[in-house]
Structure 1
Amino acid sequence: MAIWRISSTLKFTFLVAVFLVSGCANHVDLAEAPAESLVVQSVPDLNYLATQDYYNELISGAMPSIAELTLFTNQLPKGGDLHHHYSGALYVETYLDWVDKSHFCICLDNACQGSAKSGPEPVAKYEVVKNWKSGVCVSAGELRTKKKYSSFYRDVLTRWSNKDFDNHFHQQSPPDQQFFDTFGFFGSVSDYSYQAGLQALKERAVAENVLYLETMLKSAPAIDKPELAKTLNALNADSADREIEAAFQTYLDFLASNSASKAAVEEYARSHEQAATGINDGSFMLRFQTYVSRNSDPAKVFSGLYAAFAATQQTALIVGVNLVGPENGYIAMRDYSLHMKMLRFLRQHFPETKLSLHAGELVLGMVPPEGLKSHINEALNIAGARRIGHAVDIVHETNAYQLLEQMKTDDVAVEINLTSNAFILGVDYEAHPLQLYRRYNVPYVISTDDAGVSRNNLSNEYLLFTSRYKPSYDELKAVVYNSIDYAFLHDEEKAGARRELDKRFAAFEAQIAEQLEHEQYP
């Protein structure tokens, strides 16, 4: 019985520890013993040992104890969530609340016009629009309460998220398209109230014992200069480095001196500070990454990246820069190397800015084989990324073994998103390269990606991690601490967060030990 094994282990360990500390083991005189021999002679933390033994019991055997392991990972201290998109993290139910608060409606068919964002242009069924014609557009309140809309309500939930995608037959787009299309449906209300949205995310994080969130709130502003943009847009990955550097420098000089550019960067940074008002406190920390879409013209990407880097100098709340959007998009693939050179160039001007880059979110068949050979390598060795998001195509990269060794040596962490990778890429269980990263001692963290779209949370990601890959309890704890150690925080902030994690783990392990003792001696 599990409880007896726990009890026996603890009793034996306790007796051995007391025996050593008492100096009775082989009649050793502790006063005369070498200092190094005393290191192992302190009494172990019995709560830690009880929790370790219980966890081992949960993951042992061919089929882990999923229900108990779910409870365990729900209570587990989580540290931080480092790969996190704000708009994709909010659940559909929140966006439906905001539809009515914004006095918008949801299009019932493809006859709607008057998008909340696009003006009079026609918009798609299920998209949020301005209420321009009765009977064509429905409020969220009606959608939820009127029986005649119950089927449409279900459709909205499945269009705005991945809900029920795999558990019943239905007409469906490819999973990656389904995933990325969701942002277009609720996009019109995603900026209804950043402060309210962040507060909701904080409450959810605190409820599942998460103490730090590093989220991507909104894209950086791009300032257009047509005559300069024409030159930059003519570049490609094969352009001469001298030509590329000259075009970058000319555009940077314009952006750095342009009053509209300066004002846009200042307002962008200020909007993040306003959104974070009241969020940070003694139990929770919030920081932001800024980002640009990788599927825009080169000049727009460069201008946005400049603003992203510049914004990190305006507020301590913005701690990193990223690129987002489908990595397999035509422009993203065509300009990938050019984007990495943009990042390298801008890091020379903003050397303190840290990069966490989506790289290698690709699988064979999504792009031709040659498209899988270099993205992680370029993110590391051209752009200078300090963390890599997804990094799934490592198994196809040229010189993969050298890359794995480099990531270990250079202490570059991988952001593992198990639910997202399974849905978008079809990669899970032993096909996931997490096992490869573990084998080669590459640091990694567990994160959510877009919890609202995926309808998951960080606790569930840890459930998948523990049930599928069965890490030891020590490795599990180390991964939690990684989520603080590899956060883009100052050393003092990391030290404080680690101390808080220490306290939370002590309380968690005490709770587990107490519960086990209660079950043994009710």
Structure 2
Amino acid sequence: MKNNLKALALAAAVLCAMPHAQAANANEEATKRHFAALIAPGKEPKLAELTMFFTMMPKGGDLHHHYSGAIYAEQYLEWVDKEGFCVNKANYTIEKNKPHDGCVSGQGVMNDNTLLANLLQRWSDKDFYNHGAVQSPPDRQFFDTFAYFNPVASTNAVDGLQRLKQRAIQENLSYIETIYEIAPIAQDADFDKKALAGGVSDADFAALITKLDQDQAFQGWIGAYLKNVETVSAGIDDANFTLRYQPFALRFLSPSQVFSQIVSSFKLASSNPKIVGVNIVGQESVNVSMRDYALHMQMFKFMKAKYPQVKLALHAGELSLGMVPPEGLTFHIKDAIDVAGASRIGHGMDIAHESNPLAIMKKMHDQKIAVEVNLSSNDFILGIKDQAHPVTLYRKYGVPYVLSTDDAGVSRNNLSGEYVLYAARYQPDYAEVKKLSYDSIRYSFLAEADKQRLLKALDGKFAKFEAEIAGADAKAKR
């Protein structure tokens, strides 16, 4: 009798679940049809509807995200006033002085439309292509923006990260892995001299680490960084949003400075579970970055052997033909993977020029090494978009990739906008864009428990989203 009752209960549960599952499948199919109509072949993409669609759609994570570059200039102007500083009207730099003749408050900038327009042309990419002023090249324009707002970026990180959280929630983004603050740094003249002569070995790396371990100031900076992460992360994580951090090295500094930053980054990532990876940033095409690229990869290799659990997401291959000589395009992605041991590649733009691109992409496919694709900044900095963008190669050869913002405050964009660009340019089906959202969690550096938590939450969010799209479509057809 008990067995019969159990069987009846199980059958009833299955019957109850069937209508729900059928409804969910019907909603997903309706969403597929709705999305396909927005990018129908041979027709102009429906950009307004795509924008609404992707703003509503759950987007998982943003895995290539620079904290200081994500803040919009208007926010930095608020912080100028909070700090009691002013903006120089002649060169648009922040002065750590009270407002005076020739140097106005942040609110003063906001109140002057002409001054604000001119500032935004320097603190971001705004208006670069739609006015006739004398301009620097796009790559310099992009990378030069950071010097303008850096004086107030770090000191307002608590407020900044909370605002980025709220903006993420507004566009249905669950997770950000931010490239947060420059790692603690030191310099050693003897190491630099030997490195520039081409004679640095693992023994030299080990010797410099010993010096750094004995440098009380350097160790104090590591401790201060850890304390800072604890301070700024308070109150961030909740049921709607999760944030994790990457310290970074600046690739255009001296060899000892870069190595010290790599060392401190690995130590930081080994000391706090909220610090989930290590990165190296800065314009890849400038002389020092190109000259020392192979050396930097050896530095990462050395530290990775000491800290095998630390994950690397390295900017690599953010280059285009003509920006550097052709031979400079042939090895950056390969060395980031084969030498440094990167788990993700930021940008990966020069893959078509690498010495053996098919072998590299096969390895990336087989080892699940994802590319962080930044369509807006790749277009602006490198002038590469549409069918020239190597995302077409990564799609063709099964290399995992995710969409990310890079520096949304500089590009004046958001992650929803990156999805709109992707859909309009490459006409994926709904299953592909949905997979991109899930992959941005799967390829994150989150702890496995957090990863599974966010993936499960995505299931529920997509069910709700698809029901909403299906319902709206049904009403529109009446």
Shift of 1:144: 2.1
Asked whether 1:82 is paired with 2:59, we answer no
Alignment of 1:208 onto 2:171: yes
Q: SS state of the match for residue 290, structure 1?
A: strand
Residue number among 110, 113, 119 corresponding to 1:144 in the alignment: 110
Q: Does 1:497 align with 2:454?
A: yes
1:128 aligns with 2:94: yes
CA contact (8 A) 2:186 2:256 kept: no
Name the amino acid aligned to 2:322: G
Tell me, yes or no, if the aligned pair for 2:316 and 2:347 is still in contact at 8 Å.
Answer: yes
Secondary structure of 1:206 counterpart: helix
Query: Is 2:62 aligned against 1:99?
Result: no
Residues 209 and 342 from structure 1, CA distance in 2 versus in 1: closer, same or farther, beyond 3 angstroms?
Answer: same
Q: How does 1:149-168 map to 2 (within 5 A)?
A: 149-168=112-131
Aligned residue type for 2:113:
S
The residue that corresponds to 1:380 in the other structure is 337
Contact 2:84 2:98 in 1 (8 A): no
- Out of 235, 243, 252, the residue aligned to residue 195 of structure 2 is 235
Q: CA deviation at 1:237?
A: 8.9
Q: Does 1:261 align with 2:246?
A: no
Letter in 1 for 2:122: R
Find the residue that maps to 1:235 and give its secondary structure: helix
User: How has the CA–CA distance of structure 1 residues 287 and 233 changed in structure 2, closer, same or farther, with 3 Å as cutoff?
Assistant: farther
Q: Does 1:199 align with 2:162?
A: yes
For the residue of structure 2 that corresponds to 1:414, the secondary structure is: strand
Equivalent position of 2:35 in the other structure? 55
Rg larger for: 1
Task: State which of 249, 271, 287 in structure 1 corresponds to 2:206.
Answer: 249
Deviations 1:52-86 (A, max 9, x none): 11111111132121111111111111000000000
Cα deviation for residue 175 of structure 1 reads 0.2
TM (norm. structure 1) is 0.85
Equivalent AA in structure 2 for residue 352 of structure 1: Q
The equivalent of 1:36 in structure 2 is none
Shift of 1:450: 0.1
For the aligned residue pairs, the C-alpha RMSD in angstroms reads 1.4
Percent identity over paired residues: 46
Contact in 1 for aligned 2:269/2:310 (Cα 8 Å): yes
Question: Is residue 373–residue 397 contact of structure 1 (8 Å, CA) maintained in 2?
Answer: yes
CA distance in 1: counterparts of 2:51 and 2:268, whole angstroms: 40
Report the Cα offset of residue 329 of structure 1: 1.2
Q: Which amino acid aligns with 1:157?
A: L
- Equivalents in 1 of 2:150, 2:463: separation in Å? 42
Aligned amino acid, residue 194 of structure 2? A
Normalising by the residue count of structure 2, what TM-score does the alignment of the two structures yield? 0.93
Q: Please say if residues 232 and 247 of structure 1, whose CA atoms lie closer than 8 Å, have aligned partners that are also in contact.
A: no
Cα displacement (A) at 1:139 = 1.1
Q: Which amino acid counterpart does residue 210 of structure 2 have in structure 1?
A: D
Give 3-state SS (helix, strand or coil) of 1:247's partner: helix
Q: Distance in 2 between matches of 1:231 and 1:425?
A: 34
Deviation at 1:236, TM superposition (A): 4.6
Deviation at 1:491, TM superposition (A): 1.3
Q: Would you say how many aligned residue pairs link Structure 1 and Structure 2?
A: 456
Structure 1 stretch displaced more, 306-315 or 455-464: 306-315
- The answer to whether structure 1 residue 432 and structure 2 residue 398 are counterparts is no
Distance 1:168 1:233, change over 3 A: same
Do the aligned residues in 2 keep the contact of 1:232 with 1:248 (CA within 8 Å)? no
| TM superposition outliers: structure 1 runs of 4+ over 4 Å | none
- CA-to-aligned-CA distance 1:146-167 (integer Å, 9 cap, x gap): xxx4322210011100111112
- Kindly state the Cα deviation for residue 133 of structure 1 after the two structures are TM-superposed: 7.5
Tell me which of the two structures has the higher relative contact order, counting C-alpha pairs closer than 8 angstroms and 6 or more residues apart: 2
